[in-house]
A and B are shown apart, each in its own frame.
Chain A
Amino acid sequence: MVATLTRIFGVHNLALAEDVVQDAFCRALEVWKLRGAPENPSAWLMATAKNRALDVLRRERTARIFEPELSRFLQSEWTLAPAVQELFAADAIKDDLLRMMFSCCQPRLSVEAQVTLILHILCGFSVDEVANAFVSTHSATEKRITRAKKVLAGSKRLFDVTRADDFLVRLPAVQRALYLLFNEGYHGASPESAIRADLCREAMRLTAVLLEHPLGAVPATFALAAMMCFHAARLPGRLDASGNLSSLFEQDRSQWDRELVAEGVRLLDLSAEGRELTEYHLEAGIARVHALAQRAEETDWDGIVSLYDLLMKVRPSPVIALNRAIAIGQKDGPDRGLDAIHRIGDPERLKRYPFYHAALGEFELRRGRHTKANEHFRAALKLARNPAERRYLEGRVSACDNSPSKTARTKHSKLASVS
């Protein structure tokens, strides 16, 4: 709704658009309290927002300048209501979402600011909800949003999604923002929970909108969408019944969403056209290998390592290097895994990431070096970012403590002290 209203009012009137949407929701609360929710709540909200918009346009048409292109329709009652009506039509709305998405991803904003803006404006997240998503404070997030909105409102107009050159130039930024948004939901560091399914859903919804536009339906977007499907398919298994994180090896794979996996396969096939091999293709490829393995033991680790090798060439990063090292450990045994982890250049950033230490712990445990493993898991535990991660890592720590060699040593020392 904000996207559509910004189209009508003009991007410089972004705040007004948000006010109108806010009004519509407030009205809804009041009216629905008394009369109950209508059969089609979103249609009701749209109609209310539309009528509020008409009121604003009539009242303010001398005082304000609205979207220049539309202003001639807004001046006369002959065309005012029909023009607004048309702008609220379903196709127009999808276009508006896209337009707003592209407008948010402008180069003058950092990529974090872009994603923040998308969450706030397009997904309707409150300042608190956005702060939560990025593990930030309310005031820091509010400042960031305000600054970003100023930049957005200061641009002369909303991004023109019909100009192919401009569209293609900005498309990578939009894809990256959606990737980060999804990642935040899937791997996020929220203190509340390890997984924010709603962030994943929003990212998938917006990626679908991108795919519906002829210019947006390029191989990279298909690959991105495929990756999201494969990851999202596995979401039901990532938390067990008690809300605890379970590792890839322990997950109940029957919980995985088969339809989403199938959709991912379909999208990945569609992404295979052309000669572009992007990071999204590779990540989707890796996710596909996992998603198609019926049991953890059947995973094609060879394939995964090759894909990670390619990914390190396309978009090297410490986390990807770590994931590659873990895959090598799966394929060739814990010694090679440890070796690969230790070879990661510039590990400083990684050392603040709990799963770096957890990976070291895991491999040491498999080598039977329980004390070392224990140390690593304790280090990981210190860096845990939310209750689910904490519980998981505590579990790993106890797994080392309960190892047979340790209990044998304790028995020994007990005997020693008695005699």
Chain B
Amino acid sequence: MSQFLYLYRGGRNGNPSPEQVQQVMQKWITWLKSLADQGHIKDQGQPLEPSGKLVKGRSKTVTDGPFAEAKDIVGGYTLIEARDINEAVELSKGCPALESDGAVEVRPIMVMNL
């Protein structure tokens, strides 16, 4: 088993009503639960606020977010375990972010042998 990070990008559209938020959250909980039940969750992760700051370069300049286009803003992460990247990709297809035109970036954790 190897570990992969899911980075959820974009998929945040307009001002959803409380009921819509509720529905979306329910989908997340269902999806994450199904991954957990199959033993793929290493760390469920956290959602991220859309605001933030960017600290850049040697000069360490600090600017306010957004620091990417809306469709690229990372909205959260999850750490999963899967046989290989193909399985990780397959598992990610159930992610609710995809339904609102978001994306899941699937990144293998680097194994460092020192």
Q: Which residues of A contact B (CB under 8 A)?
A: 72-73, 75-79, 81-83, 85
Contact = CB atoms under 8 A, between A and B. Distances in A.
B25 A81 contact: yes
14 contacts: A72-B36, A72-B41, A72-B44, A73-B29, A76-B45, A77-B46, A78-B28, A78-B76, A78-B78, A79-B33, A79-B44, A82-B25, A82-B29, A85-B22
A83 B32 CA distance: 12
B47 interface: yes
B100 interface: no
B26 interface: yes
Contacts of B44: 72, 75-76, 78-79
Contacts of A81: 25
Contacts of B29: 73, 78-79, 82-83
Contacts of A73: 29, 33
Contact of B47 (A75, A78, A83, A85): A78
Contacts of B28: 78-79, 82
Nearest to A79: B29
B63 to A, nearest CB: 26
Contacts of A82: 22, 25-26, 28-29
Given A73-B29, A83-B29, A78 B46 contact: yes
Nearest to B28: A78
Counting chain A CB atoms within 10 Å of each CB, which of B25, B29, B45, B46 scores highest?
B29
Given A76-B45, A76-B46, A83-B29, 16 more contacts: A73-B29, A76-B32, A76-B43, A76-B44, A77-B46, A77-B47, A78-B29, A78-B32, A78-B44, A78-B76, A78-B78, A79-B33, A81-B25, A82-B25, A82-B26, A85-B22
Interface string B6-40: 00000000000000001001101100110010000
Counting chain B CB atoms within 10 Å of each CB, which of A78, A79, A82 scores highest?
A78
Nearest to A73: B29
Contacts of A72: 36, 41, 44
A59 to B, nearest CB: 16
Interface string B36-76: 10000101111100000000000000000000000000001
A43 to B, nearest CB: 14
A62 to B, nearest CB: 14
Counting chain B CB atoms within 10 Å of each CB, which of A72, A76, A77, A81 scores highest?
A76
A78 B24 CA distance: 11
Contacts of A75: 44
Contacts of B36: 72
Contacts of B33: 73, 79
A82 B24 CA distance: 10
Contacts of B76: 78
A76 B46 CA distance: 6
A89 to B, nearest CB: 11
B74 to A, nearest CB: 14
Nearest to B24: A82
B93 to A, nearest CB: 18
Nearest to B78: A78
A92 B32 CA distance: 21
A76 B45 CA distance: 6
Contacts of A79: 28-29, 32-33, 44
A73 B41 CA distance: 12
A383 B29 CA distance: 63
B45 to A, nearest CB: 6
Nearest 6 pairs of A and B residues by beta carbon? A76-B44, A82-B25, A82-B29, A77-B46, A79-B29, A77-B47
Contacts of A85: 22, 25
A77 B78 CA distance: 11
B107 to A, nearest CB: 18
Contacts of B22: 82, 85
A154 B26 CA distance: 34
A167 B76 CA distance: 43
B75 to A, nearest CB: 11
A82 B47 CA distance: 13
A85 B29 CA distance: 12
A54 to B, nearest CB: 13
A78 B45 contact: yes
Contacts of A77: 46-47
Contacts of A78: 28-29, 32, 44-47, 76, 78
Contacts of A83: 29
A85 B45 CA distance: 19
A76 B25 CA distance: 12
Nearest to B47: A77
Counting chain A CB atoms within 10 Å of each CB, which of B22, B25, B33, B36 scores highest?
B25
Nearest to B46: A77
Contacts of B32: 76, 78-79
A74 to B, nearest CB: 10
Contacts of A76: 32, 43-46
